[in-house]
Amino acid sequence: MKFKELQLHPDVFEGITSMGFDEATPIQEQAIPPIMQNNDIIACAQTGTGKTAAYLIPILHKLSTEPSKYVDTLILVPTRELALQIDQQLEGFSYFLEISSVAIYGGGDSETWTNQKNAVVKGTNILIATPGRLLSHLNFGYLNFDNLRHLVLDEADRMLDMGFFDDIMRIIKHLPVVRQTLMFSATMPDKIRTMAKQVLKNPIEINLGISKPAEGILQIAYLVYDDNKVSLIKKLVEGKDLSSILIFSATKKNVKKITAALKELRFIATEIHSDLEQNEREQVLLDFRNRKSQVLVATDIVSRGIDITGIDLVINFDVPGDAEDYVHRVGRTARAQLSGVAITFINEQDQEKFKKIEELIDFRLVKLPTPKEIGDSPVYAPQEKKAFKRKFKHKGKKPVKK
């Protein structure tokens, strides 16, 4: 479906066109019309399918046809990174509109808090917020949601995983009972459906490719011992024509080690983790988005909080602890119907976790041994007792008990 078929407000359509949008993705095609008709919806779609635009576009259409000088829309998100990215995307869509927005998130200093407060008090149409920081502002009494018409819960599964259920329910008590509520999630576990029954009214349900990475992603796994992982990364990327690489690691220590190793290879590599101040993290993400840096090495802090097209390669230095997080991580590549590669390193301890990932995505990945010049590989045998850890050596030797 072409966006011109949706009968959007002319100024909204002009903003969409200026950003290069022409044809709606499946989630946009299915979600935009019922949102424009004021229906509550619960939508499940994998990462990278355009779900942010699926709710921003119809909300902007409604704000353009029925302007409001109050807080009209509240968008709740799990992380500050996602809040900032939605705000940036909203800025593009609303370029030709007289609509204001502000992102409310934790971190930063007293100046950040004051700027957020002043923006809210002055008045804004769309508020994008993390639950904890929004509650802090609500406690001071200057936030007024009496005229709110739209509530969006973006990445609802992630918010519940992070323990925000009680915070979300407390926030909802401050909102009008009569409103439109839109819930978007990459997965649909029972806890999401339970929450949906409490906050949605006769919702239209949309399900697209639950828990499945996009078809354009080439997924590969390497069997590798921890001591050989950094060497394997260097082997995989050295001499390759890759303009954008995203690497996830479970620990800050390894993030620093990977970054240093890539800098030795003359890559422009940056790192992001909880040791950085908020303004530093924002600058790192901005540089990566603008291709000023070639490689971003990150802890799980941004696994669902980065929305950048054209990433050539995603590497999971460690198997994600949550199978659903795998979908979000590898979804950083092959966005906007492009292709990409996602590689996961599996050591001997993480094999059961990787087995759960394959069960979730209903796909068995190719598992390659560590290149012989780097070292031996663990045998992939997740169902075997760990008392019999085995390895195979190169040069055709059979697996032996260790």
* CA–CA distance, 206 with 31 (Å, rounded to integer): 7
Q: Which amino acid is at 134?
A: L
* Lowest mean pLDDT, pick from 42-56, 250-264, 346-360: 42-56
CATH for 3-208? 3.40.50.300
> What is the pLDDT averaged over residues 287-305?
82
Decide if 3-208 and 217-401 have a common fold.
yes
Which two structure tokens, joined as six digits, stand for 327? 């979908």
- Do residues 100 and 126 make contact, with C-beta atoms less than 8 angstroms apart? yes
379, HSE (Cβ side, Cα atoms, 13 Å): 17
Does pLDDT of 230 surpass 60? yes
pLDDT of the residue at 170: 95
d(C-alpha 369, C-alpha 377), whole Å: 6
Burial grade of 326 (CB within 10 A; 0-12, 13-18, 19 or more): buried
Candidate from 11-20, 71-80, 280-289, 346-355 with smallest mean pLDDT: 280-289
**CA 231/CA 48 separation, integer angstroms:** 30
- The two structure tokens encoding residue 99: 């609509």
The pLDDT of residue 396:
45
pLDDT attached to residue 210: 54
Instruction: Return the percentage of the chain with pLDDT > 90, whole number.
Output: 60
Q: With 90 as the cut, is the pLDDT of residue 330 above it?
A: no
How far is it, in rounded angstroms, from Cα 195 to Cα 202? 13
Q: What is the pLDDT of residue 186?
A: 79
The DSSP code for 55 is H
pLDDT tens digits for 192-216?
889 999 999 999 999 886 556 767 7
User: Residue ranges of the domains in the chain?
Assistant: 3-208, 217-401
Per DSSP, what are the bridge partners of residue 246?
Answer: 296, 314
Per CATH, the number for 217-401 is 3.40.50.300
Residue at 193: amino acid letter: R
Nearest to 126 by CA among 147, 109, 157: 147
CA angle 275, 280, 285 (to 5 degrees): 105
Where does the pLDDT of residue 280 fall: very low under 50, low under 70, confident under 90, or very high at 90 and above? confident
The pLDDT confidence band at residue 63, using thresholds 50, 70 and 90, is: very high
pLDDT at position 386: 45
- Quick one: CA torsion of 55, 56, 57, 63, rounded to 10 degrees? 110
Check whether 398 has a pLDDT greater than 50.
no
Least confident of 277-281, 285-289, 297-301, 366-370: 277-281
Evaluated on CA atoms 235, 312, 269, 278, the torsion sign reads negative
- Distance, in Å, from the CA atom of 262 to the CA atom of 234, rounded to the nearest integer, reads 7
Q: Please indicate whether residue 195 or residue 111 has the higher confidence score (pLDDT).
A: 195
Given a cut of 50, whether residue 345 has pLDDT beyond it is: yes
